[in-house]
Amino acid sequence: MNYAIIAAGEGSRLRKEGFKSVKPLVQIKGEYLIERLIRIFKDNRAESISIIINEESTELKSYLDSKDWGVKINLIVKSTPSSLHSFWNIIQNTGITECCLTTVDTIFNERDFKEYISAFQTDRTVDALMGVTEYIDDEKPLYVQTDENNNILAFCDTKDAAADNKAASEENNTAFDENNTPRQQNNTPDYFAETPYFSDKVSAGIYCLRNKAIDKADDCIKKNVSRMRNYQRSLIEANLKVKAFLFSKVIDIDHVEDIQKAEKLLKQFNTKVLCLKRFKDYSPNSQDKDEQIITSVGEKLKKLGFGVEYKNETEVDFNKEYFPYVISMARNPEVIKQLYAWQKKGSVIINSPSSCENCYREKQIRILQNNNISIPKTVIVSTDNDFEGINNIKDFKSWWIKRGDFQTVEAIDVIKVSSLEKTKEILANYNSRGIKTAVISENIDGDIVKFYGVRTSKDCGSGKETGEKTSSFFYMTYPTKDKFGEKINTSPDRIDFNVDKFKDECSAAAMLLDLEIYGGDAAIDTNGNFYIIDMNDFPSFSACKDLAAESITDGFLNKYNMTIN
């Protein structure tokens, strides 16, 4: 693969802000910009690297001449009026017919770049594969409109130009023959006829080009076309096959402040995040939904440049592996112990292992009861013939029995009953399975509300007493079935209650349990009183997955920014 670097700019903005050298010799994490690109290109099987610098860059020329780079370097010293002219000079001096071209100041994710080069080399039908990003950091971004298959339809100077282009295309493509019959003109491609188009991406300043696209540079120079963005437009006008490849964050070094920004971004690129999936045994009837939410969060982090790996609780080798950041749905007690060990080493884990343990039924009930959270009347009993404990529920019309040591694994682990005999039968089942305690809560007749929330360190207060308000994200809904398929909320009428106080109560409960990502169920009685029935660590967010994934990602970023040096 041949590579080319445009390093002929003057870096005038950097000089005005006090940077003394030329832009290619800006250091990011102890590595010059030009040096970084050469290393990355070599790592991606560079046959040759062509570099154009301006005639005043004597320091840069001396630096490039002083080293054996271990790859063929074609150094071109030529001051040019634009980056397009620089690219044209590279072509004229080397005769390359296929290359990857970038400007010297582009900071991108090396993992993305490797996949990009592989994609270009695999698809021999494409004339140009353009790097794009959804992260806009440029002062004058070039917006890229694509269809659903990442074919590029247009390059626009503004995001709003999409609508204008569509209207202009429809108007320009309609003409009439001598019989006043509409006909399609050939000079303007009908990009927008029935094709979905998207303009939420911008050019990343990275281009993989084959001979048809490279030849268009000469045509542009002959027509006095300037700027790379106009050259890119010429590829579309020539009906070449031009596709987009999505990078995560990409930034250019234009100002001194961009240097620090790039340092932080490269650290982010090198950060490994484990998305720890919940094993199916701890996800009854919700395995697919649980996987969808954590995958959605992981893909958003990938787009931001983090190195994301997915594993379930059985797949992590804690003796050999370590991740500095973990987004965890784990529930296996042995895995929780291992996560504690990682946490002691400095790993940041959301939700924390302690918050998972806080959701074990008995422990959760004691925490909520001791802090006056509104829950149904509840007793904790031994499963070994605790007749005195059972006697405390004699005034309940019906009640729920839940295993005390853990969350739900089997349907019988949460079950509604109304007789003492059935209660004893269930407790005996628990006891035979090694479950020593059970939680028995009075059933509340009324509406059932399912709620979901995300707390971040930006949330104020420390509980109800300090006036904490709702979490960063909160969503509630009225389900029609429970997780085991039983019908609930069958009445068409809903009971009025104080929603704001309810949100505050749920958020306070989550804070007491140390849950950053949480969900649960609540009952609203006929008088409008609410009771939290249960709190869960990291639910599936099935009713609001996309919104929740955004909030969970934001919460992770907030914690990440607080913990990096």
Report pTM: 0.83
Q: Is 94 exposed, middle or buried (0-12, 13-18, 19+ CB in 10 A)?
A: middle
Q: Are residues 101 and 132 in the same domain?
A: yes
CA 79, 232, 99, 215 dihedral sign is negative
Q: Are residues 369 and 339 in the same domain?
A: no
Q: Are residues 341 and 375 in the same domain?
A: no
- Output the average pLDDT for the chain: 89
- Read off the pLDDT of residues 42-85 as tens digits, 9 standing for 90 and up: 999 999 999 999 999 999 999 999 999 999 999 999 999 999 99
Which of 10-19, 158-167, 231-240, 524-533 shows the lowest mean pLDDT across its residues?
158-167
Q: Are residues 296 and 245 in the same domain?
A: no
Domain of 219, CATH number, reads: 3.90.550.10
Q: Tell me, yes or no, whether 187 lies in a domain.
A: no
Per-residue b or e along 356-393, where b marks 16 or more CB atoms closer than 10 Å to that residue's CB:
bbbbbbbebbebbeeeebbbbebbbbbbeebeebbeeb
- Read off the pLDDT of residues 82-104 as tens digits, 9 standing for 90 and up: 999 999 999 999 999 999 999 99
- Which DSSP letter does residue 278 get? P
Most confidently predicted of 18-27, 239-248, 385-394, 478-487: 239-248
Q: Tell me, yes or no, whether 170 lies in a domain.
A: no
What is the rounded CA–CA span in Å between residue 16 and residue 27?
18
Q: Are residues 105 and 209 in the same domain?
A: yes
Q: Which residues have C-beta within 8 Å of that of residue 222, sequence separation ≥ 6?
A: none
Q: Are residues 285 and 236 in the same domain?
A: no
Q: What mean pLDDT comes out for the span 21-38?
A: 95
Q: Tell me, yes or no, whether 159 lies in a domain.
A: no
Q: Are residues 230 and 289 in the same domain?
A: no
> Considering the chain, what percentage of its residues have pLDDT values greater than 90?
75
Domain count, the chain: 3
Q: Are residues 370 and 276 in the same domain?
A: no
What is the rounded CA–CA span in Å between residue 12 and residue 8?
12
Q: Tell me, yes or no, whether 24 lies in a domain.
A: yes
What is the rounded CA–CA span in Å between residue 219 and residue 95?
15
Q: Which domain holds residue 453?
A: 361-554
SS3 at position 58: helix
pLDDT at 461: 43
Q: Are residues 377 and 521 in the same domain?
A: yes
Q: What does the longest C-alpha to C-alpha distance in the chain come to?
A: 100
CA 407, 456, 369, 395 dihedral sign is negative
Q: Tell me, yes or no, whether 100 lies in a domain.
A: yes
Q: Tell me, yes or no, whether 261 lies in a domain.
A: no
Domain of 330, CATH number, reads: 3.40.50.20
Q: Tell me, yes or no, whether 301 lies in a domain.
A: yes
